Amino acid sequence: MSKQELPLINAAAVDPGACCAPLLCEPLGAAEAGELAPLFKAIGDPVRLRLLSLIACHEGGEACVCDLTSAFDLSAPTISHHLKVLKQAGLIDSERRGTRVYYWINPGVLARLSAILGSRQGAGMVSA
């Protein structure tokens, strides 16, 4: 049915020079998959996806926990838990400043994930 749409992607995948979407290029090894999957898993939760977005879009590229908590109907410990998951996955980083803790996005990781899913673009151009 939708097989007719595949050539477009595969054309990019076969491209020898700029080939950079492993997922569509060559079969992902078990090791690589074991490395990548936890990253996708981390953003595979609505709360964490929104947290990531809120942090990225917040003024100055960083947000304190109090800003984030107020955006959800969840308890503070729950938000804290999700932030921990994102941080352990390497998607965000944090720093305590006075009484507050600020979080910001680790932009390279997101770009890498995008490149892996995309057919080609976004690999080299975004990271730098």
Residues binding a copy of itself (CB under 8 A): 1-3, 5-10, 13, 22-30, 33-34, 36-50, 52-54, 56-57, 60-62, 71, 93, 95, 104-108, 110-111, 113-122, 125-126, 128
Question: Minimum distance from CB of 25 to a copy of itself (Å)?
Answer: 7
Which one, of 47, 39, 57, 54, lies nearest residue 114 by Cα? 39
Question: Minimum distance from CB of 23 to DNA (Å)?
Answer: 18
Which one, of 54, 51, 41, 44, lies nearest residue 80 by Cα? 51
Tell me whether residue 79 or residue 119 sits nearer to a copy of itself (CB atom): 119
Residue 90 site contact among a copy of itself, DNA, none (CB < 5 to 8 Å, cut-off depends on kind): none
**Gap between the Cα atoms of 41 and 118, Å rounded:** 18
Q: Give 70's DSSP letter.
A: T
Contact between 71 and 53 under an 8 Å Cβ cutoff? The reply is no
